[in-house]
Amino acid sequence: MQANTIEEAMALTKKFTSKPSNEELLKIYALYKQATEGDNETERPGGFDFKAAAKYNAWLAQAGKSKSDASQEYVDFINEISPKYL
């Protein structure tokens, strides 16, 4: 099963039977946020919220990427990893 749109890719992730690695989850999150909201202009989370900081940094690393490019990368990445998790 291959996704062609970000909506189809999001639906595909909901069918995963096991959880992707933390690194994969961060990439999924960052590409999704970049595709839907653009560059990260939120305030950096506090120093001891490591999960929020990791998500913030992952999204920040996508800065400058267009929403359409991030959307296509998101779809491609979900298609790439989905055989492992379906």
pLDDT higher than 80, residue 20: yes
Residue with tokens 């506090």: 46
Q: Supply the Cα-derived Rg of the chain in whole angstroms.
A: 13
Residue ranges of the alpha helices (H) in 1-86? 6-13, 22-37, 50-60, 67-85
Q: What is the mean pLDDT of the chain?
A: 96
> Where do the domains of the chain lie, and which CATH numbers do they carry?
6-85 (1.20.80.10)
- The pTM assigned to this predicted structure is 0.94
Choose among 74, 82, 71, 72: nearest CA to 2. Answer: 82
Digit-coded pLDDT (tens) for 62-73: 999 999 999 999
d(C-alpha 40, C-alpha 66), whole Å? 12
Question: Can you tell me whether residue 9 is helix, strand or coil?
Answer: helix
pLDDT for the residue 47: 77
Question: Can you tell me whether residue 14 is helix, strand or coil?
Answer: coil
pLDDT for the residue 46: 84
pLDDT for the residue 1: 80
pLDDT for the residue 28: 98
pLDDT for the residue 36: 97
